Chain A
Amino acid sequence: MTQPSGPHLTPDDLDLWLDGNLSEERQQHLDRCQACLELARAEQEIVDQLQGLTLMSASAGFADRVMQSVVVPDPFAIRSLQTVPRRLLATRKSMAVAASIGLLLLGSMAVSIIWTLGHQTTLLALGSWLLSQGGQLAWLGLRGVASNFMEQPWFENARTVLAHPGRLALASASASVAYLGGVLALRRLLALPTQEVAHANA
């Protein structure tokens, strides 16, 4: 063995050597230095022994025992609502924000109630004006729809057909049958399959 170059291997150098990443320069020192080589071999032996330790496992049924005490979240629960109280009370800042919002809501409700009690006549007058205006608007809308219908080219033909009681009954029966058929078809489409589809869970 020739004279080794540079200082002895540091613990970091030994780590690099154990991981196979030692630089060429330090490797040259290691190849020539008996003391470092002995140390490195001893370290390697320790690491080999550690890596060869017996694999250990917990006793059978470990997962079942753990799962007995684990709460699996309900996927259909509204998570955001569930965590609202916890989030509101999480920090001082969030508590202050929650308290401010609460005070603002309560304050505005109180002001609203006080104003209502003091202005009952005004509120009654406003209510009756809104009611009359609303009624007028609804009547105008109905008249508009009716006159629109009457101006349609097919209106006279439909009126002739429906003027005869027999034809009216026939048209009503046809409409009822079509409606019933539609409902049954929709129900069949939305029903769950009674038998498991082959390979569906594969």
Chain B
Amino acid sequence: MLILDRSVRDAIVAHARRDHPDEACGIVAGAAGSDRPERVVEMTNAARSMTQYEFEPAEQLRVYREMDDRDEEPVVVYHSHTATEAYPSRTDVRYASQPEAHYVLVSTRDPEETEFRSFRIVDDVVTEEEIRISETVGGEA
């Protein structure tokens, strides 16, 4: 199960809507081992594409080093699909190399309704998980 703050979900959705029709991507960092995603980091989609995303390698190095220095890890890795459902594509599965991460997919194909789903991807097997929204960081779920 993924537990995340409403403000975190809203920030991810806002990023996906802003970059539509290109795919948006990023991470949500949290304290290592906490499984609590708290700090949204919007990443540049180096592919600048409606059908693909790729973290820009130099930016990724900077962001991952910063996380390392703060004893954080990428609890959530998110990206959007802008014309298809919020479900990992074959390419998503092939690249998924962080079994401890929650892979969040957002679909912006409908201008009104946003699909927001979370998956574990381990050894090429996709498992959807429940999302629970909490109202404040550190507050009651």
Same complex: no
- Chain B contact residues, CB within 8 Å of chain A: none
